Structure 1
Amino acid sequence: MDADVLALVRRSVPRLSAAEARVAETILGDPTLVVDLAINDLARLCSTSLSTVARFAQSLGFSGYRELRVAVARTVTLAQAQQARFGLDTTAIDRDDEPAAIAAKLAAQEIDAIEKTARGLDAAALDRAALAIVGARHIEILGQASSSLTAQDLQQKLSRIGCSAAHSSDPHLSLTAASIRTADDVVVAISHGGETQEVVRGVEVARDAGALTVAITSVSDSSLAIAADVVLVTHAQESPFRMAAMSSRIAQLALVDILFVRVVQHRGEPVVIPLQLTHEAAAPRRRASGR
């Protein structure tokens, strides 16, 4: 189940009936209502039936309204705790916020993204991806725009422990590289929304060529997640006032770090030497001033 039930509700809206959408919008408008309201009260507030509310809960993967209510209460409690931690009434960034408020709100959002990503981690999927990377002849990493930065980070980490890993920010080159992968290779694709056409296509052609494909995305039922063999889910909610990917990038980087550490654990002792060599090679040379 999604670590952030409100994100799950938000993503469900486009596929809901009109009556179910009213339930979703009411929950998103004020999640605390669900904590306080019984199913009949929520149905009355949404001008719909008990069965519609129950059906909505089940469409999200819950057994019924009671389980949905508990999940929403947990999410609300965590959000309130995070706001209290930074002395905030809300983490939404406003145009008139002072620098200190912006810093506190961004910190709260990004810490929340890391915590939710860690709590929602699928350990079995992580291990499958890590073991595949350890045994791979080559790892091709796909990612465009802001996700390209995360892809570069993973490529550099894997290269430091002697893995053959590559990433291209050029969508045509990355698609070409994905198309010539084989069953000996792994393709890791990174996309926050999971709908970047070039990345999804890259996974499709790599999978058809026989490579194991791994998706890192925040949407577990996205086109990318559906196309991939292994799915690792991040959890981040971007501010409506964002100027660029913020929380989503932090969540991706956290997940990449977790994946890398697991790869190192499975590789064992052989990684010590390349890590030491790359550290020494990159260390700055100091000249004696002679003074």
Structure 2
Amino acid sequence: MGQANTLLHIRGVLPSLRPAEQRVANEILENPQQAVHMTISELGRRAQVSDATVVKFCKRLGYKGFQEFKILLAQDVVTKPQPVYGEIEPADSLGTVKDKIFQSNIQALQDTALTLSESALEEAVHAILSAREIHFYGIGASGLVAQDAEQKFARIGLPARSFVDAHMQITRAVLLNPGDVAVGISYSGDTYEISHAIELAKEAGAVTICITNFSKSRLAQLCDIVLLTASREHVFRSGAISSRIAQLSAIDALFISTVLQDFDRFQACITKTRKAIEARREA
């Protein structure tokens, strides 16, 4: 099995692993350079699990065994070294906060560029171009991303709407028809309201797409097309800092890829709407 990045793959499935397997994952994520040189017994001892658990961990990620996993991990450690940056601490200076925020966002963009599947992106573009109605669902910070998506796709003349209220999401989802598109946006992939709306949209026959950080989440399992982001949220998770940046960039990639499929038509729409805005500005 080939992964764009083994460490990113581990982070993406971490919440779905069993507790013992999570200990193996955390040991590797915290010490990737050392893990490359460990035997299966050494890794098991460091993670306080059995050799069999290490093997199960590797197979659960889709690898044939520990040796294949180590080979691919070694390639990532050598060719894609992990940058040094830390969590924001209450005692950090303004300068340190600034550096950590920007480094976190930069890393989220770089990791998402590796994780976001081009084939999934292509499938999503084709579904959007064929849809008679396009919905974007989000709650909280992901709702802001949904609204940004509506602004972009509606501006090129596509029938896009965003819904950030749970009742509006489900009442509109059940009215979708086969061939329509519903896009659920959730960092965790476990936001009940988004999964419920997507489930109803799927039952109505719509093509379902999600933008999420975790490939084994409920939302990802429900959707026809999964657009994976790769951001790490820590102490200030409620602020949805780097995850929002990664989601917005995934929307941007989806939008531009759609525009390029019929550039003249969509560029004409952008020009027309820009002129309408410019007419409102004071001379």
Aligned to 1:275, which of 244, 248, 270? 270
Give the letter for the 2:156 counterpart.
I
Q: Which residue of the partner structure matches residue 87 of structure 1?
A: none
Give the letter for the 1:114 counterpart.
L
Give the letter for the 1:58 counterpart.
K
Aligned 1:226-237 pairs, distance under 5 A: 226-237=221-232
- 2:187 matched to 1:211? no
Does the Cα contact within 8 Å between 1:5 and 1:71 map onto a contact in 2? no
Give the letter for the 1:65 counterpart.
F
* d(CA) in 2 for partners of 1:29, 1:81: 10
Aligned 1:50-65 pairs, distance under 5 A: 50-65=51-66
- Summarize the Cα distance change of 1:243–1:232 in structure 2 as closer, same or farther, 3 Å threshold: closer
Cα offset for 1:199?
Answer: 0.9
Q: Which residue of the partner structure matches residue 117 of structure 1?
A: 112
**CA displacement, residues 27-77 of structure 1 (integer Å, 9 cap, x when unaligned):** 344333302322232234345443332222112212222333344445556
Aligned 1:220-231 pairs, distance under 5 A: 220-231=215-226
Structure 1: give runs of 5+ residues left out of the alignment.
Answer: 84-89
* d(CA) in 2 for partners of 1:74, 1:241: 32
* d(CA) in 1 for partners of 2:81, 2:87: 13
- Summarize the Cα distance change of 1:267–1:222 in structure 2 as closer, same or farther, 3 Å threshold: same
Does the Cα contact within 8 Å between 1:213 and 1:229 map onto a contact in 2? yes
Segment of structure 1 superposing worse, 269-278 or 36-45 = 36-45
Q: Which residue of the partner structure matches residue 34 of structure 1?
A: 35
Does the Cα contact within 8 Å between 2:127 and 2:179 map onto a contact in 1? no
Q: Which residue of the partner structure matches residue 128 of structure 2?
A: 133
Aligned to 1:255, which of 227, 247, 250? 250
- Summarize the Cα distance change of 1:231–1:46 in structure 2 as closer, same or farther, 3 Å threshold: closer
**CA displacement, residues 160-182 of structure 1 (integer Å, 9 cap, x when unaligned):** 10011111221101211111000
Aligned 1:90-239 pairs, distance under 5 A: 90-239=85-234
TM-score normalised by structure 2 residue count: 0.89
Q: Alignment RMSD, CA only?
A: 2.2
Segment of structure 1 superposing worse, 38-47 or 131-140 = 38-47
Q: Which residue of the partner structure matches residue 10 of structure 1?
A: 14
Structure 2: give runs of 5+ residues left out of the alignment.
Answer: none
* d(CA) in 1 for partners of 2:225, 2:255: 16
| Bigger radius of gyration | 1
- Summarize the Cα distance change of 1:69–1:11 in structure 2 as closer, same or farther, 3 Å threshold: farther
Cα offset for 1:136?
Answer: 1.1
Cα offset for 1:81?
Answer: 5.2
- 2:275 matched to 1:285? no
- Summarize the Cα distance change of 1:141–1:8 in structure 2 as closer, same or farther, 3 Å threshold: closer
- Summarize the Cα distance change of 1:244–1:147 in structure 2 as closer, same or farther, 3 Å threshold: same
Does the Cα contact within 8 Å between 1:181 and 1:210 map onto a contact in 2? yes
Three-state SS of the structure 2 residue aligned to 1:36 is coil
Cα offset for 1:100?
Answer: 1.2
Does the Cα contact within 8 Å between 1:187 and 1:213 map onto a contact in 2? yes
State the identity as a percent: 36
